[in-house]
Amino acid sequence: MLSDNTSSTQDFYHRATLEYNGVFRHYVYPKKTGSGSGGTRRQGWSSSSFIPSNLCTSILESTGGGACGFNSLCRDDTEGPVCECPDGYSFIDKNDVLKGCKQNFVSQSCDRAFPETHLFDFQELENRDWPLSDYQHFQPVSEDWCKQSCLSDCFCSVVIFKNDDCWKKGIPLMNGRIDPTVGKKALIKIRIDSNNSRKHSNSIPNLARLGLLCSSAFLNLLLLIITCLLFFHIIHHRKAKLSMLYPGVQGNNLKSFTYMELKGATNGFKEELGRGAFATVFKGVLASEDGKHVAVKRLDTMVRENDLEFKAEVSAIGRTNHKNLVQLLGFCNEGQHRILVYEFMSNGSLASFLFGESRPSWYQRREIALGTARGILYLHEECSIQILHCDIKPQNILLDDSFNARIADFGVAKLLKIEQTRTTTRFRGTRGYVAPEWFKSLPVTAKADVYSFGILLLEIVCCRKNYEAKMEDEDQMILADWAYHCYEQNKLHQLFRNDDDEARDDIEEMKTYLMIAFWCIQEDASRRPTMRNVTQMLEGTVELSNPPNPSSLYVQCKGL
């Protein structure tokens, strides 16, 4: 029997059930009213005891979401566990709360020029924790230091603080629980309501507002007069200035465009092709090039100290020449305008091709994977200056007329001199594709791009994103963990859609590609292959051994 308070089988009916959440519960039903000590007993089934006594703290998963799913909190109740979402989050499916929770706000930008730290604050909650979700641990530190560290880290979603210990945790959060025994304070980072910033706007008196408007009108008129006087002077010297902008890249056959040329080519920057953390890309037509279509990347509000980075990008891309790289045609550098002009890729990005309704064939996916690997190999080993891309992801792989992979967006690239092999630069990259060493203050090498390529290769093989919060089965939410599980259990068919007959017919080759991906995403950078090795593996020219389990960044226990 489960209960120490034994009830006589002479006076009670007994039954035990194994419930959907794994709780084994013992029920009793009095055979007659008044049975038992303590007076009259209600006629009906009642719970006598259950195992485990607290499901919320009993379940501790290294690769799953816990008792209530990812990003949720589990609170023990007399009738069983109750699932909740933290502030700023809501249930993925209100009809099935075990699927976990999702963010109701836009995540913090990882653009180092615009970190958005002022747009986020913390919600403090006692006795909450998400064990096994942390990726950094600091000791001893103050609570204010802990908060500030999280605010300056775009990957940090929650910090747990207790006795000068600070644990930083990232999405997806796992094993969430509310329990008095936790004894820790959870600080949940949420975006501040934009409406709060407008509350003060109505406090300006009408007379003051009128005075401000009049002053503004006068200043605008004065500014217009000064602008007109200087306009012709600026135009007169523009050509001479442009010819002196980049004397070091003239040999790269890059054309120097004026801002007005590119504004006309894009019809006033009208047709947007894509938007990144620090730039927007527009479609354009060059009248001077017989109507040639181009992609015009306009960098957002640039500050003067970033001018060197812009020049580095122009210089680096101008020296590259490979069939799997997007070609840079020219640039513009006038005043605060920083613009790059690339050849136009008619078939868009790999992301829209891979995750859209009409899925690419397995042959196309193989060619795209191999072309991408060759392009990264060129950047790492065949350039005059080694280039770390630092942001390999489907959105940065474009497709030309023949659906050949063309690597784009060197805006966050890190250039290394010939004698350098590693860098300790500040964090760069995109959530979900970055290597673990970025979070551990370790030197970053070309192996960081290998890791990102490994995640990308998994997405190419499986035709799905590396993290999907809306998956019905939470074990399938993190692609790397799910794919390795299927590989380990020899159930690779579960990775592919029912209509992907081609993939099922070529299951052995897809297994090979998955094994390559698992080698690429090894947590220890020294165990990852170089991009040359990866390319040879994809080409089938080197032997491939069985990969060990790649430990996911977000499922490591850091001493909790």
Catalytic machinery residues: 391
Please state, in angstroms and rounded to a whole number, the distance separating the CA atoms of residues 511 and 523. Answer: 20
Cβ atoms of residues 196 and 187 within 8 Å: no
Supply the angle between the helices 362-377 and 531-539 in degrees, to the nearest 10.
Answer: 150
Please state, in angstroms and rounded to a whole number, the distance separating the CA atoms of residues 361 and 504. Answer: 12
Please state, in angstroms and rounded to a whole number, the distance separating the CA atoms of residues 328 and 330. Answer: 6
CB atoms within 10 A of CB 193: 11
The secondary structure element, H or E, covering residue 262 is helix 259-265
Three-class SS state of 39: coil
DSSP string, 503-527: HHHTHHHHHHHHHHHHHHT-SSGGG
Please state, in angstroms and rounded to a whole number, the distance separating the CA atoms of residues 462 and 466. Answer: 9
Determine whether the annotation assigns residue 31 to a binding site: no
In three state form, how does the secondary structure of 402-452 look? CCCEEECCCCCCEEECCCCCCECCCCCCCCCCCCHHHHCCCCECCHHHHHH
Please state, in angstroms and rounded to a whole number, the distance separating the CA atoms of residues 259 and 339. Answer: 8
Residue numbering of the annotated binding site for ATP: 297
Residue numbering of the annotated binding site: 297
